[in-house]
Each structure stands twice: as C-alpha cells, then as structure tokens.
Amino acid sequence: MLHGVWRLFRLTSPWPRLFLGLVARIVGARARVIGTPLRRDVVFVSNHQSWVDILVIAGTTGSAFVAKSDLRSVPLVGWLCTLNHTIFVSREDRLGIAAQIDQLRAALAQAWPVTLFPEGTTGDGTTLLPFKASLFEVLDTPPTGVMVQPIRIDYGDAMSDLAWLGDEPGQVNATRVLRRSGSFPTILHFCEPFDPATFDGRKAIAAEARRRIETR
C-alpha cells in the first residue's frame, strides 16, 4: 500500500529497496559496504555468483537490474527480482538486444541506478568470467552525466553454498539457499567510479570495469 502511494505521486519509492534488503537478511546475508556507492546517474557493473546478489545490491542501492531470463521463472525469486525494475535478458536472444538497450536508457532517464552483470551468467566466486561487451551498448555514447561504478561481491566461505552453477535448476538452487542455516558476511566493494565517455567504446568500457573488479 505504501509503495502504491509513492507511485501514485510519481515519487521514487523506498519500499522495494527496504523490502529486498530485509529479504537479504532473512536469507542470511549481512552486508558490509566498502567504498561509497553513487546514488543516481550510475551504472553499477558487478560480478555475479547468485540470485542473492540482486537482494544485497538492491537493499544497499535501490538499483534496477539487468539479469538473465532464467530468474523470471523461479518461484519467489522471480517475483522479488521484478520489484526493482529488473530487465530480463536471454543470452540466446541476440535480436532482442535493441529492446533491452531501450529499457536500460529508460531506466537511466528515471535517475535509477542500474546494475549490469556482464559475465552473462553466475560464476563460482573464484574466477571472473569474460565480460560480454554487448551489454555495454547503452554506454556507447553514454547518457550525459552517467558514471560507471564497478562492484565486487564477496561471500567468503559461504560462496560454495550460494553459487548457482551449471545446469542446476533455478528452483532447486533457490530451495537449497533458503534452507541454508545461519548468516554469512557479504562484502560489497564499491570501486572508484569512472566516466565512460572518456573510453573508446563499449569494449574499452567493459575492459576497464573488469580490470577494477579484478584488482579489488
């Protein structure tokens, strides 16, 4: 109801961020922030290990997301993802990239932070996978004033319990994570932001973001 009141007056509602942050704590995440996250006019670029990433980043920043389409169909998790304007992308749908770019630009025009997971899939937390430069198309001639801020998420010893790898069905992974007992530290390293307009195209922007995450 309160979320509806904010939307009625076309204000940025704090309730999805607060709710997703609460769900992150219920799952067991205890977020610790290193660095200073930008609040608007920013594209966050993060490593990706679990659907829990979305909860902790959203709870910290209120960001909208670009996430793999598999998440949409996972019970509960898919619904949680939609609360912060998640743009679901398919790795196979190359023809849909233009529409995805339009959605990203619309989100940035609303002054929402937007988070990309440019590995295109979840990893094991020990190796940073190659970045898919196509997701950075929105920053090839970036909107005026928009910065890029890389994030590295670290779940420490809990990583093996949270990772969504291989062909594990989303519902199985969600059930496994939700059944895990106890809490776990979650460190979000917010790297120094940079101006994408000073780099020569999306491949160079992707390479710089990856370099900053890799060196944290």
pLDDT at residue 13 is higher than 70: no
The rounded distance, in Å, linking the Cα atoms of 54 and 72 is 13
Give pLDDT tens digits for 58-94: 999 988 887 777 777 777 777 777 777 777 766 555 5
| pLDDT value of position 142 | 82
Tokens of 113: 């932070």
pTM for the predicted model, two decimal places: 0.84
The rounded distance, in Å, linking the Cα atoms of 136 and 66 is 11
Give pLDDT tens digits for 131-168: 988 888 888 888 888 999 999 999 999 998 898 887 88
- Side-chain-facing half-sphere of 167: CA atoms under 13 Å: 0
Given a contact cutoff of 8 angstroms between Cβ atoms, the answer to whether 107 and 138 are in contact is: no
Q: Which residue, among 151, 209, 145, 190, has the nearest Cα to 36 in the 3D structure?
A: 190
- Convert 51-101 into a string of H (helix), E (strand) and C (coil): CHHHHHHHHHHCCEEEEEHHHHHCCCHHHHHHCCCCEEECCCCHHHHHHHH
pLDDT at residue 8 is higher than 70: no
